[in-house]
Amino acid sequence: KSAFCRNTVQGRALRTDDRGYICSVLDIDYQSGCCPQGREPYPCNGCNSTTRCCDTYEYCVSCCLNPNETSDEASSKVRIANHHSSGTYRDSFEFCMGRCRHNLKSVVHENAYATENHHCFSLPTNLSSEQPKPSIDDGLQSLAIVIGMPRQSCETACKLSKQTCQSSKLSAINKCAVLEKYFRCRGSCIASISQPAEVSPFAPSHLHPAACLFATQENVLSCEAYNEHLRRLCPCA
């Protein structure tokens, strides 16, 4: 492999190189342009796995570079900045840099102020050779999804909405993809012995503030459980 790397250049604090490694601007090798390889490549810190949007440009690029997300072949078919008169990207690195900077979905996110995940890298759907994926909401379409308050069980949250908690559907919401649709999950999605929920951003640091939790054992799922630091996601009907 070449001893030289291309990198994202413009970041004030972080850089991502074309191998998928991310590092501080202070740690980059300015002769080669490469980041140190001490950590795993393709980190996705601050990225939402459902929307493929991230709160930091450099992490958007590194996550996008994962071969499971993007290939040189698919990238070369995408026109730069979504403009038909423009050229196409040469490879995945150029695609990821441009996509994370120019993706139209990013503009929607920035204008809506609904999330801090401004940088998105998903491929246009008409380029996908995969079969359509089943909806992450399978089994939930007929339900009202209610977000509880801290110290509030799903039984109470649903009752306040004049509905009843559907315990048989708790396993359907016990998935990161579903949790990330309703919560920011800024601290990532973590396996736990608790209920599917978001940790309060004001919770003690050892409880992973602002993270989402999913239960590793579905036999613990309950409409009655609650916790002072958790906002539960509740299937009501």
pLDDT tens profile 60-91: 999 999 988 887 776 666 655 544 445 677 88
Looking at the DSSP bridge assignments, the partners of residue 16 are 22
So what's the pLDDT on residue 16? 96
| Averaged pLDDT for residues 39-59 | 88
Confidence of residue 104 (pLDDT cuts 50, 70, 90): very low
Please indicate whether residue 80 or residue 4 has the higher confidence score (pLDDT). Answer: 4
Mean pLDDT of 145-174: 93
Residue 187 pLDDT level (bands cut at 50, 70, 90): low
Contact residues for 122 (Cβ-Cβ < 8 A; gap 6+): 51, 52, 103, 105
User: What pTM does this model have?
Assistant: 0.48
pLDDT at position 103 over 60: no
Radius of gyration of the CA atoms of the chain, in A:
20
Instruction: Supply 216's token pair.
Output: 């590793």
Residue 108 has pLDDT above 50, yes or no: no
Say if residue 136's pLDDT is above 60.
Answer: no
Task: Read off the tokens for 157.
Answer: 């949250």
How confident is residue 230, by pLDDT bands cut at 50, 70 and 90?
Answer: very high
Q: How many beta carbons lie within 10 A of that of residue 56, not counting itself?
A: 22
CA distance 117 to 115: 5
| Interval 17-27 mean pLDDT | 95
